[in-house]
């Protein structure tokens, strides 16, 4: 049961960070700023893809994000 709680916490943290960073992303784009990266997590890159001028991805430590 405890493992399920830890996994649920990590999932909730990732979703929360993604929503928060998406707010920055939308605001920057609305005001004409170029957004070159949108990542969730810190550390080494686990996965990434580029769409248009923005690189999207996930990094190994799910404790934040940036764009």
21 is catalytic: yes
Q: Which ranges of the chain does DSSP label H, i.e. alpha helix?
A: 2-30
Gap between the Cα atoms of 3 and 1, Å rounded: 5
SS3 content of the chain, % helix, strand, coil (to 5): 45, 40, 15
Give the distance, in angstroms, between the CA of residue 34 and the centroid of all CA atoms in the same chain: 17
As annotated, the active-site residues are 21
């Amino acid at each position: 049961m405890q493992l399920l709680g830890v996994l649920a916490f990590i999932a909730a943290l990732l979703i929360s960070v993604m929503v928060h960073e998406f707010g920055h992303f939308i605001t920057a784009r609305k005001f004409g700023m170029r957004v070159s990266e949108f990542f969730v997590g810190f550390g080494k890159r686990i996965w990434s893809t580029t769409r248009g001028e923005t690189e999207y991805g996930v990094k190994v430590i799910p404790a934040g994000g940036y764009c």
